[in-house]
């Protein structure tokens, strides 16, 4: 069995380990309840059992991938029944599942026209403190780097403007500076969300192809099951 694509590496390994444990447990149940069955019959039944596990995991994997696309791209999953009947889902379902944060957004810097998302290849950058501060998610990576360097330099200049600081006075100024930066980010996040939602989720034309792939996999699994059944009956006759 393979790992599911809809999980991070840690959860994918955890899920695979649990699946292997369940599969081994079912195999032990087959052996204990075998009675007078031959080893060939037990092996054939276990192959059918494994194919059932694989089929369930393939469907689960396809559902997880579709859920990710629905959340990131705003694509409503198309089931095989909907495809055959030609029915359409409710329009509101697409917006409810869509998470605007994964969509490209405009940088809030007045000198930048770049579109970006902090959940792309720069995800680690926006969540790694630099000089004790996190980059602003409302700015593209280049502008966020410039802003962060300027904020750190501002704090250094303020600290060096006096020979000695009263602890409370410095703490109040430092806290206010950090709070102002946080409030500014919260304001621009709301502005970005409004801008992205007005544009709506991006169009994605590959969903029909994915549904066709899922249907082809189902047909292939039926063929494999028939092949396993022939092996099983062959082992019984032997």
Three-state helix/strand/coil letters over 30-67 = HHHCCCCCCHHHHHHHHHHHHHHHHHHHHHHHHHHHHH
> 79 or 179: which carries more pLDDT confidence?
179
91 is a domain residue:
no
Residues 130 and 185 in one domain: yes
* pLDDT reading at 6 higher than 50: yes
* pLDDT reading at 80 higher than 50: no
81 is a domain residue:
no
113 is a domain residue:
yes
Task: Supply the DSSP string of 155-179, one letter for each residue.
Answer: HHHHHHTSS---HHHHHHHHHHHHH
pLDDT tens sequence across 23-67: 888 888 888 887 878 888 888 888 888 888 888 999 999 888 888
> 233 or 32: which carries more pLDDT confidence?
32
Residues 163 and 210 in one domain: no
Residues 158 and 220 in one domain: no
- Which residue range(s) make up the domain with 210? 205-237
90 is a domain residue:
no
88 is a domain residue:
no
Residues 186 and 210 in one domain: no
Q: In terms of Cα–Cα distance, which of 107, 114, 116 is closest to 138? A: 107
* pLDDT reading at 177 higher than 60: yes
* pLDDT reading at 191 higher than 60: yes
Summarize the confidence of residues 129-156 as an average pLDDT.
Answer: 95
Number of structural domains the chain divides into: 3
Summarize the confidence of residues 120-129 as an average pLDDT.
Answer: 91
93 is a domain residue:
no
Is the Cβ–Cβ distance between 230 and 48 less than 8 Å? no
Summarize the confidence of residues 106-124 as an average pLDDT.
Answer: 92
Q: What is the pLDDT of residue 208?
A: 40
Sole residue written with tokens 């991938």: 65
pTM of the model: 0.62
Instruction: Find all residues with CB under 8 Å of 188, minimum gap 6, and list them.
Output: 108, 136, 138
Residues 117 and 52 in one domain: no
Instruction: Quote the mean pLDDT of the chain.
Output: 80
């Amino acid at each position: 069995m393979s790992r599911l694509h809809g999980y991070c590496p840690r959860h994918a390994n955890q899920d695979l380990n649990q699946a292997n444990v369940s599969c081994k447990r079912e195999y032990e149940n087959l052996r204990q309840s075998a009675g007078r069955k031959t080893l060939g019959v037990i092996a054939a039944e276990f192959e059918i059992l494994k194919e059932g596990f694989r089929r369930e995991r393939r469907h689960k994997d396809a559902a997880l991938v579709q859920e990710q696309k629905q959340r990131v791209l705003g694509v409503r999953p198309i089931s095989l029944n909907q495809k055959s009947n030609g029915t359409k889902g409710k329009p509101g379902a697409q917006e409810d599942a869509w998470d605007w944060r994964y969509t490209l957004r405009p940088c809030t810097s007045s000198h930048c026209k770049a579109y970006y998302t902090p959940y792309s290849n720069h995800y680690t950058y926006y969540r790694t403190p630099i000089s004790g501060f996190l980059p602003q998610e409302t700015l593209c990576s280049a502008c966020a780097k410039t802003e962060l360097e300027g904020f750190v330099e501002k704090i250094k200049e303020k600290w060096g403007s006096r020979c000695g600081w009263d602890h409370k006075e410095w703490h109040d100024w430092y806290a206010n500076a950090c709070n102002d930066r946080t409030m500014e980010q919260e304001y621009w996040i709301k502005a970005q969300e409004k801008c992205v939602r007005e544009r709506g989720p991006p169009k994605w034309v590959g969903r029909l192809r994915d549904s066709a792939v899922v249907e082809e996999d189902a047909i292939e699994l039926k063929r494999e099951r028939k092949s396993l059944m022939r092996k099983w009956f062959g082992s019984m006759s032997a």
